[in-house]
Amino acid sequence: MLSQDLFKQNRNKFSKKMSEGGLALFHSNDQMPTNADGLMPFRQNNDLFYLTGIDQEESSLMIYHDMKKNIFKEILFIKKTSDLIKVWEGHKLTKEEAKEKSGIESVIWNDEFDRILNNLIPDASCIYINTNEHPRAKVIVETRNARLNKKLKSKYPDKKFKKSANILHQIRSVKENQELNCIKKACNITKKGFDRILKFIKPGIFEYNIQAELIHEFINNNSKGFAYEPIIASGKNACILHYTDNNKLLNPGELILMDFGAEYNNYASDLTRCVPVNGRFTDRQKEVYKSVLTVMNEAKKLLKPGVYLSEYEESVGLLMEKELVKLNLLSMNDIRKNSNMPAYKKYFMHGTSHHLGLDVHDVSDAQQPISEGMVFTCEPGIYIPEEGLGIRLENDVFITKNGTQDLMEDIIIEAEEIEETMNN
């Protein structure tokens, strides 16, 4: 369980970077519809959760700089429950429970939000709005934050608006101990899932059977489930980077690429392993597998404080080129003549590492170098469509003062270990 100390600390970090007289607003996600009267499972807005620990719909947070007293004040708004809600939806947070969870003294029913906001806005020097600024985001559905931000801008067109993401991307990328412990727990649950399926995989089952085994293990260990849509890709499907159909029959002689991770307390883990369907790698499969593992092991050594991710990716590219030449997939001439795009991109198209936290592709400041306290994935891969072979390996690593701590070092990865475990 995350304590209120973490959320107090997170709000303090955010407040210190606000402009004088600023007012910041954060809202929970909507409950998203399916069809008819159906609803998807609720998933909280990660920024609101990061600042409050409140994992309930129709919640809002105000942080504002009281210029008269020169202090920051906080107000948490939560859904007012009723006997009807209690019968159909169950228990909702009381003010006392919300206060205990978040560490916020002032907790008010959300039907008071507009009245209090209208009283505070005239004295605010600027308004911080919560928006999704992730560089890979493709937002086509209007979120509750976006809807209320639009209403606010329409009502107060003369006010100066700033994006809270410019602050949050900096502070969320460095994890506190409580956050790290949640990620470690998620990694431990993921390990249990992998251990389970290693003994289960064999020719004649379907990709979705493996997915079913994993979700069983995750939920059985107090995880809500997958941190992201799992990739269970056998044979040539492994060359489709975001394959999620997970419906193909597993055949002897194929490899299966599995990219999955459990979540715990809203924090993600992210693992990729490739194993032979019949328990034994062919010589070629093992050759490519060991090249990917070599790149992964060397890449982890390059993830250290002070290095920029762009520099790191260039260095990993050189490691990959060396392995692709050894595998007779590239020649030195191929490498020399490719000036517009690195030659290795033909077989390794994606980045090697991304931040990990509340989001599986966690937010960060691209202008910020790697620093102590960050968590990254390390996931090189080689994809050879003409051979129907795709191999990616991925662990999650914590950045320490001197290098990295592999949070998944106890999850087997050596080809021989995998063969031995599958055949016992």
Token pair in block for residue 199: 């003994």
d(CA 373, CA 176): 7
> In 3-state terms, what secondary structure has residue 290?
helix
Q: Determine the pLDDT at residue 341.
A: 86
Give yes or no for a contact between 198 and 274, defined as CB atoms under 8 angstroms apart.
Answer: no
d(CA 148, CA 379): 38
CATH architecture of 4-170: 3-Layer(aba) Sandwich (3.40)
Contacts 24+ apart (CB under 8 A), 136-141: 136/361, 141/32
Q: Which residues pair with 64 in a beta bridge?
A: 23, 73
The highest-level CATH class for domain 177-423 is alpha beta
Q: Determine the pLDDT at residue 335.
A: 87
Question: One digit per residue, pLDDT tens: the chain, 424 residues?
Answer: 799 999 999 999 999 999 999 999 999 999 999 999 999 999 999 999 999 999 999 999 999 998 888 888 999 999 999 989 999 999 999 999 999 999 999 999 999 999 999 999 999 999 999 999 998 888 888 999 999 999 999 999 999 999 999 999 999 999 999 999 999 999 999 999 999 999 999 999 999 999 999 999 999 999 999 999 999 999 999 999 999 999 999 999 999 999 999 999 999 999 999 999 999 999 999 999 999 999 999 999 999 999 999 999 999 999 999 999 999 999 988 888 866 889 999 999 999 999 999 999 999 998 999 999 999 999 999 999 999 999 999 999 999 998 899 999 999 999 999 999 999 8
Q: Determine the pLDDT at residue 338.
A: 67
> In 3-state terms, what secondary structure has residue 389?
strand
Please give the DSSP secondary-structure letter assigned to residue 78: E
**pTM for this structure?**
0.96
d(CA 174, CA 374): 5
> In 3-state terms, what secondary structure has residue 326?
helix
Q: For CATH 3.40.350.10, list the domain ranges present in the chain.
A: 4-170
Q: For CATH 3.90.230.10, list the domain ranges present in the chain.
A: 177-423
